[in-house]
Homo-oligomer: A and B are copies of this chain.
């Protein structure tokens, strides 16, 4: 009998472990450092604009985020930002790159259950070395049949990954907290897309939910095995 679903891809940041809150803490620190030069709302607007503008150059991840903070600090101070503040931003970046991993609820048992019956893979964006570090420190590595760190999450990328590591996108599911990067393109590729909202999600990852019978939303990962059971019957 051919199984309907053989391969389950998981996003990593804010799906398996907390991540965005480390960015938010760093942004708060950034706003504090520059409070004499710009009010916090304006600063966050300029930072988001810099991140958006730089995405095609830097891609995703902490290093590009630090460079965008420095660029924004230069911009809002007309280049008069003190060197001490730049040094603090660099230090904040290094701290982000060694931040301990804090798993989200139900991650370990859900991946343990599913990896016994399905090919479980992780598909994530970000800095190559940093994502590898986080996977290693998560203690989840042995549960994954594959790890793909990609520069962008498009339907074509999901097709390629599920062809190489699974039985094609039609028999695959992607699970994550980004409607734009995890859910919509996986469904566009022909797979299932499962949205697991996280309280904090970066503005650039927001999108409308798709209208597809292959779209599902669950409150947290503990609901995933039952959802998969339904799909397979």
Residues of B within 8 A of A33 (CB): none
Specify how many copies of this chain sit in the oligomer.
2
User: Which of A66, A83, A93, A127 is packed against the most chain B CB atoms within 10 Å?
Assistant: A83
What is the bound-complex CA distance between A64 and B87, given in angstroms? 15
- Known contacts A83-B77, A132-B151; is A58 also within 8 Å of B67 by CB? no
Interface membership of A140, Cβ < 8 A: no
Q: Pick the residue among B64, B67, B97, B152 that contacts A57 (CB under 8 A).
A: B97
Which residues of chain B are within 8 angstroms of A103 by Cβ–Cβ distance? Answer: none
Q: Helix, strand, loop or mixed for chain A's interface?
A: helix
**How far is the CB of A71 from the nearest CB of chain B, in Å?**
6
Chain A contributes a number of interface residues (CB within 8 A of B) equal to 34
> A149 within 8 Å of B by Cβ?
yes
Given A67-B93, A151-B128, check contact A74 B98 (CB 8 Å): no
Q: Contacts A127-B59, A128-B151 given; indicate if A90 touches B77 (C-beta within 8 A).
A: no
**CB–CB A74/B86 < 8 A:** yes
Least distance between A208 CB and chain B CB atoms (Å): 26
CA–CA, A218 and B121, complex, Å: 40
- 20 A-B pairs with C-beta separation under 8 A: A57-B98, A58-B97, A58-B129, A59-B130, A63-B63, A63-B127, A66-B67, A67-B90, A70-B70, A70-B86, A70-B90, A71-B90, A77-B83, A79-B82, A79-B83, A79-B86, A127-B128, A128-B150, A128-B151, A129-B151
